[in-house]
């Protein structure tokens, strides 16, 4: 599983680096949106990790196997969230942020790798949301850390792509 995730991220990164050499444009607003989203997601993962660590320190609970449902490409996160869910504000903002980033990226650069990355981000958040809503036991701190690293890797690839575009823009202006 780890090897598959790493290879997908490596392929996305390579495609983005190669496509950055074309006529794509750097957009500081998009760069800021991605950075702000990364900070928001990271803060939420810290919160979930703290909650999971507190839950693990309580009486031992039986391990319950709970797998998230499969995700359809482009499926919005809102399809599985009742308004009463404690994390619903975060997940609603995730969907809004991802939609804004995806739309802005497609308008500026129309890079197919971005679509794959956005689908990967939605898939990870969908899995987290589904498990938090439907499973009797939340994820362990270790599993939350893995999810956090996956999200971070995708967002870092997007930010590196923006950096390449930015450096290319400054080079062509000189």
Tell me, what's the pLDDT at 40?
94
Helices 141-173 and 112-134, axial angle in degrees (round to 10)? 160
Tell me, what's the pLDDT at 75?
61
Residue with tokens 């809503």: 133
Q: Compare 80 and 141 and report the one with higher pLDDT.
A: 141
Checking if the pLDDT of 164 tops 70, the result is: yes
Domain range spanning residue 141?
38-56+87-174
Q: Compare 136 and 61 and report the one with higher pLDDT.
A: 136
Checking if the pLDDT of 4 tops 70, the result is: no
Q: Which two tokens stand for residue 165?
A: 């575009």
Tell me, what's the pLDDT at 156?
92
Checking if the pLDDT of 62 tops 50, the result is: no
Checking if the pLDDT of 6 tops 70, the result is: no
When mean pLDDT is compared over 72-76, 80-84, 125-129, 156-160, the highest value belongs to 156-160
Does the residue 122 lie in any domain?
yes
Percent of the chain scoring above 70 in pLDDT: 63
Does the residue 80 lie in any domain?
no
Tell me, what's the pLDDT at 56?
66
What is the spatial distance between Cα 40 and Cα 52, in angstroms, rounded to a whole number?
A: 18
Does the residue 95 lie in any domain?
yes
Does the residue 155 lie in any domain?
yes
Average pLDDT in the chain: 75
Tell me, what's the pLDDT at 92?
85
Q: How many domains does the chain have?
A: 1
The band of 14, judged by pLDDT with boundaries at 50, 70 and 90, is: low
Does the residue 137 lie in any domain?
yes
Does the residue 101 lie in any domain?
yes
Does the residue 23 lie in any domain?
no
* Mean pLDDT for the stretch of residues 97-122: 84
Contact status, residue 136 vs residue 42, Cβ threshold 8 Å:
no
Does the residue 124 lie in any domain?
yes
């Amino acid at each position: 599983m780890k090897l598959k995730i790493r290879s997908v991220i490596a392929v996305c990164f390579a495609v983005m680096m190669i496509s950055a050499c074309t006529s794509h444009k750097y957009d500081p607003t998009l760069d800021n949106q991605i950075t702000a989203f990364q900070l928001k997601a990271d803060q939420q993962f810290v919160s979930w990790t703290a909650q999971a660590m507190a839950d693990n320190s309580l009486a031992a609970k039986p391990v319950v196997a709970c797998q998230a449902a499969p995700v359809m490409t482009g499926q919005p996160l809102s399809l599985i969230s009742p308004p009463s869910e404690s994390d619903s504000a975060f997940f609603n903002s995730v969907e809004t942020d991802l939609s804004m980033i995806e739309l802005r990226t497609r308008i500026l650069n129309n890079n197919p790798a971005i679509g794959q990355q956005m689908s990967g981000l939605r898939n990870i958040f969908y899995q987290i949301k589904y498990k938090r809503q439907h499973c009797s036991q939340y994820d362990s701190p270790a599993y939350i850390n893995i999810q956090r690293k996956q999200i971070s890797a995708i967002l870092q690839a997007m930010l590196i792509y923006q950096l390449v575009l930015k450096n290319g823009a400054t080079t062509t202006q000189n």
